Amino acid sequence: MWCCCDCFGELRYSPEQMFAVVAAVDLYEDFVPWCQRSRIIRRHEDGSFDAELEIGFKFLVESYVSHVEMEKPRYIKVRN
């Protein structure tokens, strides 16, 4: 979803810092709430990858795979 307004106020991080956090999919389970598992399951020759996330709380658990494309530090595009 694209947001054309300043929804979150001023961010005090550089684009490079923000990119590094978002791109660290395999580390999400260490810092994203309710993320129980995160792993890169396939890397493609063009630099994109497929990642699996498992999100859950108590007995409710869902997992899904996303295809991630990125161009540092311009964008990260995720498709489910």
26, 51 contact by CB (below 8 A): yes
Full-model pTM: 0.76
Q: Which of 31, 25, 34, 27 minimizes the C-alpha distance to 65?
A: 25
Q: Which helix (H) or strand (E) holds 30?
A: helix 28-31
pLDDT per position as a tens digit, 44-58: 999 999 999 999 999
What are the sequence ranges of the domains in the chain? 24-79
The confidence score (pLDDT) of residue 10 equals 73
CB atoms within 10 A of CB 27: 12
* Alpha carbons 28 and 39: distance in angstroms, whole number: 9
Task: Write the burial class of residue 31 (CB in 10 Å: 0-12 exposed, 13-18 middle, 19+ buried).
Answer: exposed
Position with higher pLDDT, 10 vs 20: 20
pLDDT (0 to 100) of residue 1: 46
